[in-house]
Amino acid sequence: MQASQAIYMPQLKWKAGERRALRSVRSARGGRVLPAFKIPPAGSFDPEQQRVLTTVEYLHSFGRQLADCWDRRLALIDAELIDDQHHSEAVADHPLTALIERARLAGANAAPIFGLGNSPNYHRAVRRYAERNPAAPACVRIKLEQFENISDAKALVEFVSQLGLAPSSVILLLDGGPLDIPDAEDFTHLLSGQVARLITPNTWARVFWSATSFPEKPRLKAGMDGHFPRTDWNLYRTILANRAEFPIVPMFSDYALEYPSAYAPFNGAPSAHLRYSSPDHYHIFKGPSVRKEQGFKAIFDVAGRLVSSEVFSGAEFSLGDAFIHRLSGGTGKTGDAPAWRWCATDHHFTMVMTQLAQALGLAREVAPVSFTVEQLELL
């Protein structure tokens, strides 16, 4: 896949449900989706192995898991959270190098994400990647709070070039992170000025703008439903409406249905809940812990509340929606936390790609997938 074709970069946490959504969603495989994974530390429960993997097992499983969900398509990986002695001792080289090589051995295609704040060891690993893979793709992430630390477009090019990378092969990710923007017009005018200062047209392989308004702490109790404005999407629509102010119109990126934090290993019991996106809001339908009397069957009531609400897109909208609709019937297999995350993320990917196709004047792509509706009964 050529990075220049991509219109959507979901920033993901390497969760099993997110990877499964990349494999299942109909619109993800036509070259328009470029996933970016931030690899969390080892130590979480692995749903495939039904146990916590050792650090070595965790790092060695990366290549196969990436190939399973994304084949040979380009994926971006950020190894900042495993750039430490603990993870380095588990591999022969830097963890970033180990992940990229494991991906290649498994037939997958991973390229590094790096930024201004990475350690010297991390930057050396990026430089090693560039030396071994001339003109290969990579991604430089510039956080919103770092914009003022860069003097001009030339300085940004020099930073990338010092690592041995050709800017024409590098994807530029302008990352706003979690944002609460009350006035999208005002912010867009400020952003366009910064983009004009930092970007010279025809320099980068692709440019993305990323942000999220997914809540960090929804504070919902069991039985409660919450909705939160998707101001990240409203902001991007405002950027498109003011595209004449930008030297280059950035493509869209978000954090899917996650807040960009809380990467620490988690091995507790999940609550039965579903996250869901509508054109203008994020929704959370909360149920009790699976340790309660109903156990995993609590998801049936949660799905029923979602399906009966006005925000449900219908069982035919996506495979994820078909699964949610089946859960709402209250019979059959309940699935588990990765399955609940999968169906929500599958729906979100489908909705975002539909919105982007409309906003950018593109035909909606519906590519064949290996995941079938019949497989829903196995979850």
| Whether this model's pTM surpasses 0.75 | yes
Which residue ranges in the chain fall short of pLDDT 50?
Answer: 1
pLDDT digits (tens, 9 = 90+) for 90-114: 998 999 999 999 999 999 999 999 9
Average predicted confidence (pLDDT) for the chain: 93
3-state SS, residue 321: helix
**pLDDT score, position 365:** 61
Q: What is the DSSP string of 246-277?
A: SSS--EEEE-TTS-S---S---SPPEEEEEEE
Long-range contacts of 127-131 (CB under 8 A, 24+ apart): 127/163, 127/164, 128/94, 128/97, 129/96, 129/97, 129/100, 130/163, 130/164, 130/165, 131/164
Q: How far are the Cα atoms of 24, 94, 110, 134 from residue 101, in angstroms, in the given order?
A: 25, 11, 8, 15
**pLDDT score, position 366:** 53
**pLDDT score, position 327:** 97
